[in-house]
């Protein structure tokens, strides 16, 4: 008589489990948000025991930390692709578009990446590393736009301003807090806000002597 097929949780190779757990965590994150995301829920989605999941992630913080690190890695690659096209302000515009498109495509992951789940004390090294890498791509765009060295004071200040603008705009858009935003394409919306930002900066400039 043929032996009954074993369940997935009995036959799953533990060495292949980590990518599957992260993929399941990402899917669950978009479905239910971060508060209901747990190792037990993720392991059930994959079809393995929670014990097997703990071989790869010590706790929930490590799981969501790796998930957020994955998000920053993808964001950095999106910014890098944008950086490779155009020059000067065109690169900054392309970077803003890439940033906004990433957030629109992954709203729950984006909010996890920048949400209150992580502090300096609880942030795993992989997350710290990938966050710095993403910010580094933005700094490269700013340095190229200004024609300045990457680590000079002007680039550091402008990079913080650029990220503040892009992150603030993106957060308002994905939370639906900007009236009329849905009427425009991402390209048109970024162009309009950059024009407004430029006009504001010009009005704040000191008069020519």
In order, the DSSP letters of 17-34 are: HHHHHHHHHHHHHHHH-G
What is the chain's mean pLDDT, rounded? 85
The whole-model pTM stands at 0.84
Give the whole-number percent of the chain exceeding pLDDT 90. 49
Domain 65-203 of CATH type 1.10.357.10: yes
Give the whole-number percent of the chain exceeding pLDDT 70. 89
Mind listing the pLDDT tens digit for each residue in 153-195? Answer: 999 999 998 899 899 989 988 888 877 777 778 888 888 888 8
| Fold type of domain 8-57 | Arc Repressor Mutant, subunit A (1.10.10)
Q: Which residue has the tokens 């933005």?
A: 138
Among 69, 100, 66, 64, smallest CA distance to 82 is for: 100
Residue 144: pLDDT band with limits 50, 70, 90:
confident
* Both tokens assigned to 179: 């009236």
Among 64, 54, 39, 34, smallest CA distance to 127 is for: 64
Residue 6: pLDDT band with limits 50, 70, 90:
very low
Query: Which of the two residues, 208 and 76, has the higher pLDDT score?
Result: 76
Residue 141: pLDDT band with limits 50, 70, 90:
confident
Among 67, 78, 56, smallest CA distance to 29 is for: 67
Please tell me the least confidently modeled range out of 52-56, 106-110, 175-179, 197-201.
Answer: 197-201
Query: Which of the two residues, 68 and 6, has the higher pLDDT score?
Result: 68
Domain parsing of the chain, residue ranges: 8-57, 65-203
Residues 6+ apart with CB under 8 A from 133: 72, 73, 76
Mind listing the pLDDT tens digit for each residue in 82-130? Answer: 877 666 678 888 888 999 999 999 999 999 999 888 888 889 999 999 9
């Amino acid at each position: 008589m043929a032996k009954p097929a074993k369940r997935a949780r009995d036959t799953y190779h533990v060495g292949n489990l980590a990518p599957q757990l992260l993929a399941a965590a990402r899917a669950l994150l978009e479905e239910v948000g971060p508060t209901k995301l747990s190792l037990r829920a993720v392991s059930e989605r994959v079809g393995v025991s929670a014990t097997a999941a703990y071989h790869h992630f010590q706790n929930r913080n490590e799981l969501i930390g790796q998930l957020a690190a994955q998000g920053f890695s993808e964001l950095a690659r999106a910014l890098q692709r944008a950086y490779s096209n155009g020059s000067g302000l065109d690169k900054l515009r392309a970077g803003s578009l890439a940033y906004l498109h990433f957030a629109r495509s992954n709203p729950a992951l984006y909010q996890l990446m920048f949400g209150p789940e992580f502090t300096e004390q609880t942030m795993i090294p992989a997350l710290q590393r990938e966050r710095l890498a993403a910010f580094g791509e933005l700094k490269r765009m700013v340095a190229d736009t200004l024609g300045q060295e990457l680590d000079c004071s002007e680039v550091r200040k402008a990079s913080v301003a650029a990220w503040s603008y892009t992150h603030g705009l993106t957060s308002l858009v994905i939370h639906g807090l900007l009236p009329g935003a849905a009427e425009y394409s991402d390209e048109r919306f970024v162009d309009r806000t950059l024009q407004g930002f430029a006009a504001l900066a010009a009005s704040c400039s000191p008069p020519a002597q």
